[in-house]
Amino acid sequence: MREGWEVKKLGQVSNVQRGLTYGRNDTVDISENIVLRATNIKLESNSLDFNDLKYLTDDFEIKDIYKLKVGSLLICFSSGSKNHLGKVAIVEEPYAAAFGGFIGQITPNEIVIPRYLFYNLISDNYRKYISELTDGMNINNLKSGDLKQFPIPIPPIQEQKQIVKILDQAFTAIDQAKANIEKNIVNAKELFQSKLNAIFSQKGDGWKEKSIDEISKVVNGYSFKSKDFSADNEIKSIKITNVGIMEFVEDSSNNLPLSFLQEYSKVQVHVGDLVLALTRTIISGGLKVARVPESYHNSLLNQRVAAIVPNLSLVNSDYLYYYFSSDIVYNYVLSNVNTLMQPNLSIKDLKRMTIPITSLEGQRKISIQIEGLSEKTNLLISNYEVKLNNIEELKKSILQKAFSGELTQKEVVV
């Protein structure tokens, strides 16, 4: 450690105040009493998010110790996800709000400047410290006493300011580079989707429109009882939670008894079959449709999931899958879901959905063409993701140098 630096505990350089408590009867639809919660701290950007606010009644007394202070940091003491535990955001502007729920406020004293403390609390050292406090039993809760023990290297104030200035400049450049890469990923996905849509929109001679029911068997899942499922059973089932957006999510806890395989053979599905969520068919990321992987061959289909089993004498399995990846299907589902309560797609509407059909050889060639586009797109995205990972490692490296006294203005961001 450099000369003039010393190590202090977080509790020695700041005041840690847990948030106010309130009950359900203390909340209203809207009022002037805003209270921030864990959901108002954005994990990805370590910033405040003023969407989804909670309001307390006008007559609820909020003491000054629970009001946001400029220069303080908000921290999450408890969370439904381990990764969100200990997440922080700095309060850099005056806000007429309190903090409660499972968050607290860290107010630095005169020997540390807020942004220097903030950078310490987004460092790899801090994340490691937080993760080591979890014991598997109390995994989603952080004690104030433990947090106060976090060691922080403290240089003189002037040196803190210099470090913060360098970090601000470096992180601004890094964040811009990250934004550019993320935009490139979006562009790559959109370009692939555009080409995919164009392929299915340009029909030639001999093409016909067929309903899904004409070229495949549509299987509606069975309503198995919750007591039927167990990780100890032998036969895998496919629930709505297994169907992601063009991704199958495996889960070994929802198995059914071996005896069910013959009894419920009508809802048996096989590798390569398509499965579609009938409830919440469309979510923010897209259409919930996937292919059954080899590990789920001969599995049983649960309720609110449909399987589309292609008639291979009429339709190529890959061709059918790629068609369900197109915006044509997305838009059809969007126009036919029942949104009164949950967005549901009926089996009837699924069966009557049409698909453009050419010869099997034509379908095979189209599938090969799309597969080639998909491989190129995935390779491009993979390369971009490597760059994103490198950027995250660069941030960690810069912070490590900052708090070991090795950071200089010559730090280069690539």
Domain of 145: which CATH number? 3.90.220.20
Residue 412: its pLDDT value, please?
Answer: 46
* Same domain assignment for residues 172 and 243: no
Question: What's the rounded Cα separation, in Å, for the pair 128 and 134?
Answer: 10
Render the burial of 9-31: b for 16+ CB within 10 Å, e for the rest.
ebeebbebbbbbebeeebeeeee
Q: Is residue 137 part of a domain?
A: yes
Residue 205: its pLDDT value, please?
Answer: 83
| pTM beyond 0.85 | no
What pairs with residue 75 in β-bridges?
Answer: 88, 104
Q: Whose CA is closest to 309, among 51, 299, 396?
A: 299
* Same domain assignment for residues 215 and 348: yes
Cβ-proximal residues to 374 (8 Å cutoff; 6+ apart), any chain: 192
Q: Is residue 196 part of a domain?
A: no
Q: Is residue 197 part of a domain?
A: no
Q: Whose CA is closest to 351, among 336, 364, 340?
A: 336
* Same domain assignment for residues 297 and 372: no
* Same domain assignment for residues 185 and 314: no
Question: What's the rounded Cα separation, in Å, for the pair 86 and 38?
Answer: 10
Q: Which of 317, 340, 357 is the last residue of a domain?
A: 357
* Same domain assignment for residues 126 and 105: yes
* Same domain assignment for residues 126 and 257: no
* Same domain assignment for residues 347 and 364: no
Structural domains counted in the chain: 3
Residue 352: its pLDDT value, please?
Answer: 96
Q: Is residue 1 part of a domain?
A: no
Q: Which of 322, 337, 357 is the last residue of a domain?
A: 357
119: left (phi over 0), alpha (psi -120 to 50) or beta: alpha
Backbone angles phi, psi at 90, to 5 degrees: -95, 140
**Residue ranges making up the domain that contains 111:** 6-155
Q: Is residue 256 part of a domain?
A: yes
Cβ-proximal residues to 5 (8 Å cutoff; 6+ apart), any chain: 153, 154, 155, 405
Residue 138: its pLDDT value, please?
Answer: 47
Q: Is residue 398 part of a domain?
A: yes
* Same domain assignment for residues 370 and 350: no
Question: What's the rounded Cα separation, in Å, for the pair 156 and 387?
Answer: 35
* Same domain assignment for residues 221 and 323: yes
Q: Residue 329: enclosing H or E segment and its boundaries?
A: helix 327-336
Residues in the chain where the model's pLDDT stays below 70: 1, 79-83, 134-140, 339-342, 408-414
Q: Is residue 264 part of a domain?
A: yes
* Same domain assignment for residues 28 and 44: yes
Question: What's the rounded Cα separation, in Å, for the pair 218 and 225?
Answer: 22
Q: Which of 341, 357, 373 is the last residue of a domain?
A: 357
Question: What's the rounded Cα separation, in Å, for the pair 77 and 333?
Answer: 41
Question: What's the rounded Cα separation, in Å, for the pair 376 and 369?
Answer: 11
- What number of other Cβ atoms are within 10 A of residue 285's Cβ? 10
Backbone angles phi, psi at 345, to 5 degrees: -110, 130
* Same domain assignment for residues 17 and 124: yes
* Same domain assignment for residues 301 and 396: no
Q: Is residue 201 part of a domain?
A: no
